Amino acid sequence: MFFYHTESIGILVVDTIRTLKLLSNWTGNRILQKRRPLIAVYSLTHYCNYYCPMCPFGDPDKINQIKFAKKHDLTTDQWKTIFDKTSKYCIWSIIEGGEPTSRPDFMELVRYLYGLKMPITLISNCSLLHNIDLSELKRYIQFITCSIDSVFEESYCKVRGVNKEAFQRVIKNLQLLQEHSFPHYFNSVITKFNTEEFINQSYFERAKELGSDAVSLTFVEDRSDVNYSLLPDRVTMNRVCESILDYSKRHSRPRIMIPDLYFKQILENGHALFDECGVWKSIFVNGDGSVLVPCWKFKSPENTYDLLSQSIDDIWNAPEWDIAKTCHDCKVLGCIWYSSQPVTTFAGNYLKGLSQYINQKNPDISV
């Protein structure tokens, strides 16, 4: 027999009713051929303490980056206004950065968002988690996505542009998450610097040791504003895909969160496939409150909207979204590919994950 705390049941019921209502509204909009966001992504700050070359927040000039963040980052109250607006549409929220935990008001913002009945995922490089009350944070956050591109010191430092002390601090913080039984999974961007640990599958074994029940993977999408490539060559990409598919077939933990189809398409075509970019399904709010339509690749004044002064309906009715119908610039970016898949792909991956979860908890049950 299972016993549940009355308050917990009440919260679950309220959250479920809210989610069903928003999903119903979203489905109604789709019938009317209206695009509307379903997931809210908040880039809380322009500052990050890391130097990742594949990320625009990896700017090596941290002094000017801090100055820029102080000048352009939204205030606490402004972010709360953004949260209020988006909570009327979205069933889930993702907090990221820059590095979101670097904001002094990080916990205040998390508490406020939680109060809006928005389930929360935190994406973090995990380097600053030791400064946060994890026991309190666990009350508000569903799980933490740990940006761990490599589980080995040398390649981690090369990919992230940090020293070995930073790597050791992250490992200690991951151990803190385990001590607090804090749900977390790993996310890795596969570049030419970290392919070997996916080919020999050591990444997955080490991730399991560090308490990660799942890993999300994507190949790097080279930035258009730099003159170098971080993408592995085609032969190496194929070896990575073959190894990940092999691991996924033979192991249930850690679970590979990106469907096998993504890796199969890259093997067959050298890139992922989708009909229409689904970036509109998420509202991505930059640290200054702006929304770029349809995405960051089209950053220009005419494609930039201000969510503080404009409504989501107005922004999502903008003609610039039509670009997404024909744009296929993102060749291997997993998140774009996933958002652009038909519902059947989502459902299949969900059922696969549910089956693995049940079998993990009940090894004698076959699903």
Q: Are 88 and 111 in contact (CB under 8 A)?
A: no
Domains, in order of start, for the chain: 6-271 (3.20.20.70)
More confident residue, 6 or 231: 231
Confidence of residue 2 (pLDDT cuts 50, 70, 90): very low
pLDDT value, residue 342: 82
The rounded distance, in Å, linking the Cα atoms of 287 and 247 is: 38
Residue 89 DSSP label? T
Query: How much is the average pLDDT of 256-277?
Result: 95
The rounded distance, in Å, linking the Cα atoms of 95 and 100 is: 7
For the stretch 149-187, pLDDT in tens is 999 999 999 999 999 999 999 999 999 999 999 999 999
DSSP lists the bridge partners of residue 143 as 121
First to last CA, the chain: 22
Cβ neighbours, 10 Å, residue 319: 7
If you count them, how many residues does the chain have? 367
Phi, psi for 253 (deg, rounded to 5): -145, 130
C-alpha 324, offset from chain centre? 20
pLDDT value, residue 8: 43
Q: Are 144 and 110 in contact (CB under 8 A)?
A: no
Percent pLDDT > 70 in the chain is 89
Highest mean pLDDT among 15-29, 66-80, 210-224: 66-80
For the stretch 21-75, pLDDT in tens is 888 888 888 777 788 999 999 999 999 999 998 888 999 999 999 999 999 999 9
Is the pLDDT at 13 greater than 80? The verdict is no
Query: How much is the average pLDDT of 68-88?
Result: 97
For the stretch 314-361, pLDDT in tens is 999 999 999 999 999 999 999 999 999 886 665 565 555 545 444 444
pLDDT value, residue 149: 96
Amino acid at 346: F
- Integer-rounded Cα Rg, in Å, for the chain is 20
pTM: 0.89
The rounded distance, in Å, linking the Cα atoms of 137 and 8 is: 17
Q: Are 349 and 263 in contact (CB under 8 A)?
A: no
The rounded distance, in Å, linking the Cα atoms of 160 and 149 is: 8
The rounded distance, in Å, linking the Cα atoms of 324 and 303 is: 13
DSSP lists the bridge partners of residue 188 as 217
Kindly report the average pLDDT of the chain as a whole number. 89
